[in-house]
Amino acid sequence: MDRADTDSRIREQIAPFNKKGVTITDGTTFQGDLEFDSLTVMDFVAAIEDEFDIIISMNQQAEIETYGQLVDAVHKQRPDAGTTA
Amino acid sequence: MSDGIMQPDAPEELEGGTADLFSKFDPLIKMREGLLSTGQKDPFSLVMEKVLSPTRAICNGRDTILLGTYNYMGMTFDPQVIEAGHQAMRDFGTGTTGSRVLNGTYQGHKECEDALREFYAMDHAMVFSTGYLANLGIISTIAGKGDYIILDIDSHASIYDGCKLGDAEIVPFKHNDIEAMEKRLKRVPEGAGKLVILEGVYSMLGDVAPLKEMVRIAKEHGAMVLVDEAHSMGFIGENGRGVAELQGVMDDVDFIIGTFSKSVGTVGGFCVSNHPKFEIMRLVCRPYVFTASLPPAVVATAATSIRKLMQGSNKRAHLWENSRRLHSGLKELGFTLGTDEAQSAIIAVIMPDLEQGAAMWEALLEEGLYVNLARPPATPANMTLLRCSLCAEHSEEEVSTILDMFEAAGKATGII
């Protein structure tokens, strides 16, 4: 599995939370661009955790500000992740 | 669209004044000023000029019914409890001036821990200077770097602060969601230490946790379980030991955290446990070691009160009557409540927004009723709540008066 696959699966999960239809790039920020509040973050993180069957702890969440950082963090946790991460 | 992570964080432009470390509080300062500029009385700076009893005080010169004190069992003016405090102050002085592990353990501290062991029928009890410190100390000491803490997302601030201080991986799950908890437990890496943290009663909505199922699942996954029973001690469960007792899971809970500042009626916190190595906590738990112990009068009142709570079944029954009556009365008046039925001695009335909540709070105070106003970020789902906590000393007539006051204030503010 390459990073692009992780990316597209996260893109599917983010759609229902992207109320304003913001164009998402690796630099898109959750708080600034997507205007996620703490409740949205909670639901969104749970959706990603369930999709990939992983844990994104609050400690990790604190380090993730942009979409690209999320894709990297999720991809790194996938047991089948390739070396392209 | 953002320019991406290559761009350094730009400091926010500030209107007037010099930017300093306090600039991060500007949004809150602004929100507060906005609220108070409408003539609204500040809900967070009320002064009780005189306290008449567990249920009455003089506020703004007015005799006020107290319905937001967590003084569930009304022990604060119990004559025997007061006398124990007087005696201890005369015999042992006003304070210990020292840590529990140095010069701060008096006879009274041991007697207080004895009373707790008896109350909970458990092997070990450790008294802290506050309930906040009990959570901070126990959680941060037992769950460290590399360990995983699975906790309800609506956990109290002291629980979150304990998690952070200990540097464990913090994994919250949706409030009271058994399946969400189990999924996360399954995902913890093999071999990592696991601690599940739950509360018996959640103080914002006054709802109870499904401890029976959650504790069973936590144990099946090899986790230790800590339950904060701050809002249940004294009146939930056959012996007042809390929700874990009521739901029959006391034997599977590794640590119970509690406080003296609610049903017990003074200040302080504690942890009780049957863990065979528990006593080592007294040497390794920093919030226990590096702070002064409770004053002699406080531990004497706590010990006396705890022993009286063991015989409190009549008071317990009256508290439950009060809680159920207030719940059904408010529901009939048309208020939206945090739970479908009374699950604890906390009844949360959900307000449409902060402005109307603050207006309702002030209208109630003018009627002569004090409740807690709770607002985001302390509340779940960013709700504004008027939290009512009942006392076993509230009379039937007082509960009727309270309902009349809610009706008048609710109509005056247009909430019902």
B249 lies in some domain = yes
What does the pLDDT read at residue B44?
Answer: 84
The residue extents of the domains of chain A are 3-77
DSSP assignment of B315-353, as one string? HHHHHHHHHHHHHHHHHHHT--BSSSS--SSEEEEEESS
Which chain A residues contact residue B173 at CB under 8 A? 46
Q: Which chain B residues are Cβ-neighbours of A29 within 8 angstroms?
A: 2
Is the predicted pLDDT of residue B9 greater than 80, yes or no? no
| B18 lies within 8 A of chain A by CB | no
Ranges of residues in chain A whose predicted pLDDT is under 50: 83-85
The proportion of chain B whose per-residue pLDDT surpasses 70, expressed as a percent, equals 96
Q: Is residue B61 part of a domain?
A: yes
CA gap B218, A7 in Å, rounded: 33
**Set of chain B residues whose Cβ sits within 8 Å of the Cβ of A39:** 381-382
Residue B403 and residue B255 in one domain: no
pTM value is 0.93
List all residues 6 or more positions away from B76 whose beta carbon is below 8 Å from its beta carbon. Answer: B51, B54, B265, B266
- Which of B292, B309, B326 finishes a domain? B309
With cut-offs at 50, 70 and 90, classify the pLDDT of residue B400.
very high
Domain count within chain B: 2
Check which CATH number belongs to the domain holding B54 and give it: 3.90.1150.10
pLDDT score, position B41: 82
Cβ distance B1 to A57 less than 8 Å, yes or no, reads: no
Residue B400, domain extent: 38-73+313-413
Does a structural domain hold residue B2?
A: no
Query: Inter-chain contact A38–B377, Cβ cutoff 8 Å?
Result: yes
Distance CA B303, CA B265 (A): 11
The H-or-E segment that residue B384 falls in is strand B384-389
In 3D, which of B339, B359, B342, B341 has the Cα closest to residue B350? B339
Question: Is B67 found in the same domain as B169?
Answer: no
DSSP B201: E
State how far residue B169 is from chain A, nearest Cα, in angstroms.
6
Q: B13 pLDDT exceeds 60? A: no
Position B12 in a domain: no
Known catalytic residue at B203 = yes
The DSSP annotation for A13-65 comes to HHGGG-TT-PPP-TT-BTTTTS---HHHHHHHHHHHHHHHT----HHHHTT--
Q: Return the residue in A57, A69, A70, A78 with the most chain B beta carbons within 10 A, the one to mutate for interface testing.
A: A57
Torsion B251-B123-B228-B259 (CA) sign: positive
What's at B284, amino acid-wise?
V
Among B5, B148, B172, whose Cβ lies nearest the Cβ of A66? B5
- State the pLDDT at residue B230: 98
Q: Give the integer Cα–Cα distance in Å for B56 and B65.
A: 5
Q: Of the listed B124, B156, B262, B394, which one is catalytic?
A: B262
Same domain, B266 and B367: no
Please say if B262 is a catalytic residue: yes
> B195 to each of B131, B170, B255, B264, how far by Cα in Å?
19, 10, 10, 27
- The answer to whether residues B214 and B350 belong to one domain is no
Instruction: Tell me: do B55 and B199 sit in the same domain.
Output: no
Asked if residues A66 and A26 have their Cβ atoms less than 8 Å apart, the reply is yes
Q: Is A25–B1 a contact, with Cβ atoms under 8 angstroms apart?
A: yes
Backbone phi, then psi, for B35, in 5-degree steps?
Answer: -65, -45
Are both B142 and B285 inside the same structural domain? yes
For residues B162-182, average pLDDT: 97
Which of B309, B342, B371 lies at the terminal end of a domain, its last residue?
B309
Q: Calculate how close chain A gets to B5, using CA atoms only, in Å.
A: 6
Record: fold of A3-77 = 1.10.1200
Co-location of B356 and B296 in the same domain: no
Instruction: Locate A53 and state its tokens.
Output: 């069957």
The answer to whether the Cβ–Cβ distance between A27 and B5 falls below 8 Å is yes
Coil vs helix vs strand at B276: coil
Specify if B186 maps to a domain: yes
Asked which of B309, B328, B363 is the last residue of a domain, the reply is B309
Q: Residue B20 domain-assigned? A: no
In a domain, residue B373? The reply is: yes
Is B272 in contact with B122 (CB distance < 8 Å)? yes
Least confident of A71-85, B27-41, B228-242: A71-85
User: Does residue B27 lie in a domain region?
Assistant: no
Q: Which residues contact B118 (CB under 8 A, 6 or more apart)?
A: B307, B310
B85 with B158, same domain: the answer is: yes
Residue B271 and residue B380 in one domain: no
Q: Where are the beta strands (DSSP E) in B99-254?
A: 124-128, 148-152, 169-173, 194-199, 201-202, 207-208, 224-228
Assess B32–A contact: CB distance below 8 Å, yes or no.
no
Top-confidence residue, B15 or B247: B247
B381 touches chain A (CB under 8 A): yes
Nearest Cβ partner for B1 among A28, A49, A59: A28
Q: Is the domain of B83 the same as that of B196?
A: yes
- B47/B144 same-domain check: no
ipTM of the complex: 0.90
Cα distances (angstroms) measured from residue B252 to each of B108, B142, B220, B230, B274:
30, 17, 11, 18, 10
pLDDT, tens digit (0-9, with 9 covering 90-100), for B344-393 = 999 999 999 999 999 999 999 999 999 999 988 778 888 999 999 999 99
End-to-end Cα distance, chain B: 44
The residue ranking higher by pLDDT, B17 or B338, is B338
